[in-house]
Amino acid sequence: MKFIADRMLGKLVKELRMLGYDTVYYRGENTYELIKLAREGGRVILTRSTKLLPKRPEDRIIRVTEEKPSLQLRELIQKGYLSLKEETFFSRCLLCNILLDAIPREEAEGIVPDFIFYQQKHFSRCPQCSRIYWQGSHPENMKKKIDELWESTKTQAPNHK
């Protein structure tokens, strides 16, 4: 499932990318354009707006009811829209929404801080913005949150969908 999220959902966009979901962030205010982009990309629209309604059968819209950004990801998981796959976590650039390429460790030398270079074995790079990622390069609070969500879905009884 691929998403396009409206301008109200910036935090959710980064969290979805962190989970590995292809998520476009639409910062504009033109709902016609939003729907058009969703159709073109085969994306599900995420919005907080109650006014945005499907206009064609192929339009898929998920309304995020949770007001607090910190609870929105949990809402999507609890409603069964997301399936968490550990192997896709941290596979995508948070800024560009592009899959990262693994790079030889030597290529990170001199670019990442020395102590990181000596601590880490695996590095990857965004083909678009060239930002280098490593395990632990994502903000600690976001990682912690995903770990918690991951644990809670594993211990839950099978979800009705």
- Chain contacts with Zn ion (rule: CB under 5 A): 93, 95-96, 126, 128-129
Nearer to Zn ion, 3 or 35 (CB): 3
d(CA 133, CA 124): 5
Nearer to Zn ion, 43 or 92 (CB): 92
β-pairing verdict for 44-47 and 3-5: parallel
Rounded to a whole number of angstroms, the minimum distance from the CB of residue 90 to Zn ion is 13
d(CA 76, CA 44): 12
Rounded to a whole number of angstroms, the minimum distance from the CB of residue 133 to Zn ion is 9
Nearer to Zn ion, 46 or 94 (CB): 94
Nearer to Zn ion, 96 or 111 (CB): 96
Q: Which two tokens stand for residue 59?
A: 């339009």
Nearest Cα to Cα of residue 89 among 44, 136, 54: 136
Rounded to a whole number of angstroms, the minimum distance from the CB of residue 93 to Zn ion is 3
Rounded to a whole number of angstroms, the minimum distance from the CB of residue 70 to Zn ion is 24
Q: Which two tokens stand for residue 115?
A: 């102590």
Element (H, E) at 76: helix 69-78
